[in-house]
Amino acid sequence: MKKVKRILSFLISAALGLSLTVPAYMPVVSAEEEFSGYDTTRIDSVLADFELAVASDDQSFIKSMYEQVIKEVDYAYYQLVLAKVQYSQNMTDENRETYTVMSASSRYVITRINETLSKAVNTKNSEYVFSLMKEGYIQLNNQYTVKKAEETEEMIAQKNELLKEYINVLGSSASEEEKELSCAEIYLELVKYYNSLILTEDSNYIDYAYQLYCRDYSPDDIAKLNDSAAEKLSDAYKKINERRVKVYVKEAGEKKFDNNFDVVSQFAYRVSDDLRESAEMVLENGLYRTGSGGSDTTSYTTKLNYIEAAIIYQYIWNESKDLSTAAHEFGHFNALRQDTTPYLYIHGSNLDLAEVHSQGLEVLYTDFYDSIYGVNDEFLSLGEAGSLLVAVAGGFQGNEFENYVFDHADSMTPQDVVDKYHELAKKYKLYDVPFYQIAHFFQMPGYYISYAVSALAAIDLWSVMYRDFDRAVEMYTDLSHVSIYDGTGFENALESCGFDNVLDEDFITDKIPELAEDLTDGIIYGDTDRNGTVNTADISYLVSMLLASGAISDEVKKSCDLSNDGAVNSADLLKLKRIMAGNR
């Protein structure tokens, strides 16, 4: 069932009022200025004053200086992010070196803080200092049951050398088969490296990663869904793709935009006040950056806690999908700019939830595709639905692959790695991206299942949206207010915001096929008489069906059961009246 057609034509925190020897700075109102560098004597000076405060008997002084330490970390990471964006836009050797140096400076900042706070808990004011640290600095560290060793500079250099080898292979002129085997060899070395960090017996790095990403489900919980996902997803995708090919209007061509965020911002107010405010913040403060050509091809959005915002970087492919990418990143921005968690308090993040923030907004924006794209709106909307199904399949496939390799790395050869990946690609059918092109396997082990579970939540949001747009917006808005840093689990977050249990097997076996049917049956939601438009004649037709004696055919029920309760009754009439009033 298609949606009914809809016709459409920073606050900056005050600087801490401290003098002493603290370097003077004020939060900027815009990120338009480029990276300006970071002098590590700043953190040395701040920490020296913090130590003076700890040696005093003035708790308000200690707290003020502790807050200054937190703010200084935010400033260092602000500069780090600007350096990263600068390099993403213009990937010169000079900008890479700048980013590398700033990364080292950021690590220095954290190392110095860790050293200083470790000493502070052994002073006469240790109890008070510890109470401040418990506000977030040490809170999450104590919750991990699978422990990981700290990486030394030498260990990080070892890992980075392997990653550098991987990047070099990607850019080489070797054949596809040669790249697969070479990358598989590097991957095995990385897996062994990651596993070597784990201190807890009978655990591997994937077990640790599930904690790091704040997951309230286990690898075993996902494994139970593997076979159902492999079986049902391809059928739903086939149905959607067949309809998509049928509705494509070739003459309309592909619609592209000079500035994708300008288009996204125009519809933000139709979703929520949160998004309207976020769009204004982006536009007024230069927080949307783009790259093309030789720029970094990975789009991302990163928190800028120092100016209480975030920043979007998007690579422009000059394709219609650029708009959905802009909406995707805007979803991240909207959630991150409302999250005030200091960088010093970030021990991990719920990336599953973060991806619902982005994919969920992509789903909501499909409701405006008729105004954005015109006659090919259904074609492109179905493309989004198909992409979600591919994301689910790819997430399950990648997760099953990672779990297997991390469990068997010591006994596997590079060819074994390649063969296992191909075996799972055949099982899940929809995801044929070559193994060596998936950088997450090498850089962020344990992450890939996030694509699946977040896409499942987006599918759930879509199923709600097709019958009640306002309810879907309410669910999405509530979820965007859940921090990805406070330890809230994925399933708990969804439940608190009215989502279904998307990690239940029934969701995969029943809900996904139902949505695929709704998207492809050709019926416009509210068009009870099935004549292609929604108007007053549909009310008359629905009333006649309510008054009719005898059984109602399945075809009539499909178009008239607007409340989706399995029958045609007065609830459907009320629903149709709301549709006619434009208040879905």
DSSP readout, 6-24?
-------PPPP---TTPPP
Q: pLDDT tens digits for 546-567?
A: 888 667 887 788 778 877 777 8
Q: What is the residue-wise DSSP string for 420-476?
A: HHHHHHHHH-S----GGG-HHHHHSTT-THHHHHHHHHHHHHHHHHTT-HHHHHHHH
User: Tokens for 354?
Assistant: 């973060």
High-pLDDT (> 70) share of the chain, %: 91
Residue 116, in any domain of the structure: no
Query: In this predicted structure, what is the pLDDT of residue 409?
Result: 97
High-pLDDT (> 90) share of the chain, %: 73
When the pLDDT of each residue in the chain is averaged and rounded to a whole number, the result is 89
The answer on 345 and 483 residing in a single domain is yes
Give the residue-averaged pLDDT of 376-391.
Answer: 95
The answer on 410 and 555 residing in a single domain is no
Q: 140 falls in which pLDDT band (50, 70, 90)?
A: very low
Residue 267, in any domain of the structure: yes
Judged by average pLDDT, the poorest of 135-149, 302-316, 468-482 is 135-149
Say whether pLDDT at 259 is over 50.
Answer: yes
Q: State in Å, rounded, how far the first CA of the chain is from the last one.
A: 15
Query: In this predicted structure, what is the pLDDT of residue 561?
Result: 82
Give the residue-averaged pLDDT of 73-101.
Answer: 96
38: left (phi over 0), alpha (psi -120 to 50) or beta: beta
Write down the H helix ranges in 248-311. Answer: 260-271, 273-285
The answer on 572 and 505 residing in a single domain is no
Residue 105, in any domain of the structure: no
Cα–Cα distances in Å, from 87 out to 296, 439, 464? 8, 18, 41
User: Tokens for 127?
Assistant: 């109890």
Q: What is the CATH number of the domain that holds 503?
A: 1.10.1370.30
Say whether pLDDT at 510 is over 70.
Answer: yes
Say whether pLDDT at 308 is over 90.
Answer: yes
b/e code 72-93 from CB counts within 10 Å (16+ = b) = bbbbbbbbbbbbbbbbbbebee
Specify the higher pLDDT residue, 409 or 254.
409
Q: Within its chain, how far is the Cα of 460 from the centroid?
A: 16
The answer on 270 and 232 residing in a single domain is yes
Nearest C-alpha neighbor of 384 from the set 462, 436, 447, 317: 462
Residue 477, in any domain of the structure: yes
The answer on 540 and 429 residing in a single domain is no
The answer on 490 and 466 residing in a single domain is yes
Nearest C-alpha neighbor of 558 from the set 512, 513, 526: 526
Listed in sequence order, the residues at least 6 apart from 69 whose beta carbon sits closer than 8 Å to its beta carbon are 46, 47, 50, 113, 116, 344
Say whether pLDDT at 28 is over 60.
Answer: no
Q: Within its chain, how far is the Cα of 5 from the centroid?
A: 29
Residue that is last in its domain, among 480, 495, 520: 520
Nearest C-alpha neighbor of 147 from the set 190, 194, 197: 197
DSSP conformation class of 553: P
Residue 347, in any domain of the structure: yes
Give the residue-averaged pLDDT of 130-157.
Answer: 82
Residue that is last in its domain, among 496, 520, 544: 520
Residue that is last in its domain, among 489, 520, 551: 520
Say whether pLDDT at 19 is over 50.
Answer: no
Query: In this predicted structure, what is the pLDDT of residue 238?
Result: 96
The answer on 395 and 339 residing in a single domain is yes
Dihedrals φ, ψ of 302, to 5°?
-130, 140
Listed in sequence order, the residues at least 6 apart from 575 whose beta carbon sits closer than 8 Å to its beta carbon are 467, 562, 563
Query: In this predicted structure, what is the pLDDT of residue 549?
Result: 62
The answer to whether 188 and 417 have CB atoms below 8 angstroms apart is yes
Residue with tokens 């995969």: 508
DSSP conformation class of 290: E
Residue 391, in any domain of the structure: yes
What is the residue type of 233? L
Query: In this predicted structure, what is the pLDDT of residue 145?
Result: 87
CA–CA distance, 61 with 59 (Å, rounded to integer): 5
CA–CA distance, 120 with 141 (Å, rounded to integer): 18
The β-bridge relationship of strands 300-304 and 288-291 is unpaired
The answer on 542 and 515 residing in a single domain is no
Query: In this predicted structure, what is the pLDDT of residue 21?
Result: 32
Residue 190, in any domain of the structure: no
Strand, helix or coil for residue 302:
strand
The β-bridge relationship of strands 309-315 and 300-304 is antiparallel
Q: pLDDT tens digits for 167-190?
A: 999 999 999 999 999 999 999 999
Specify the higher pLDDT residue, 78 or 23.
78
CA–CA distance, 49 with 71 (Å, rounded to integer): 14
Say whether pLDDT at 262 is over 80.
Answer: yes
Say whether pLDDT at 7 is over 70.
Answer: no
CA–CA distance, 86 with 90 (Å, rounded to integer): 6
Listed in sequence order, the residues at least 6 apart from 304 whose beta carbon sits closer than 8 Å to its beta carbon are 31, 78, 81, 287, 310, 311
Model's pTM, two decimal places?
Answer: 0.83
The answer on 378 and 456 residing in a single domain is yes
Say whether pLDDT at 202 is over 90.
Answer: yes
Q: 437 falls in which pLDDT band (50, 70, 90)?
A: very high
Please tell me the total count of domains within the chain.
2
The answer on 423 and 291 residing in a single domain is yes
The answer on 436 and 545 residing in a single domain is no
Strand, helix or coil for residue 482:
coil
Give the residue-averaged pLDDT of 203-217.
Answer: 91
What is the residue type of 334? N
DSSP conformation class of 134: T
Q: Quick one: three-class SS letters along 484-539?
A: CCCCCCHHHHHHHCCCCCCCCHHHHHHHHHHHHHHHHCCCECCCCCCCCCCCHHHH
Q: pLDDT tens digits for 114-138?
A: 999 999 999 999 999 999 998 888 7
Nearest C-alpha neighbor of 225 from the set 354, 403, 387: 403
The answer on 397 and 496 residing in a single domain is yes
CA–CA distance, 466 with 506 (Å, rounded to integer): 20
Listed in sequence order, the residues at least 6 apart from 404 whose beta carbon sits closer than 8 Å to its beta carbon are 420
Instruction: Give the total residue count for the chain.
Output: 584
Strand, helix or coil for residue 296:
coil
Residue 14, in any domain of the structure: no
Domain of 453, in residue numbers? 219-520
Q: 18 falls in which pLDDT band (50, 70, 90)?
A: very low
Residue with tokens 């010093």: 344
Nearest C-alpha neighbor of 105 from the set 81, 70, 137: 81
DSSP conformation class of 40: T
The answer to whether 272 and 432 have CB atoms below 8 angstroms apart is no
Query: In this predicted structure, what is the pLDDT of residue 139?
Result: 58
Query: In this predicted structure, what is the pLDDT of residue 33?
Result: 59
Cα–Cα distances in Å, from 458 out to 386, 476, 478? 12, 9, 14
CA–CA distance, 30 with 401 (Å, rounded to integer): 43
Q: 143 falls in which pLDDT band (50, 70, 90)?
A: low
Give the residue-averaged pLDDT of 274-282.
Answer: 97
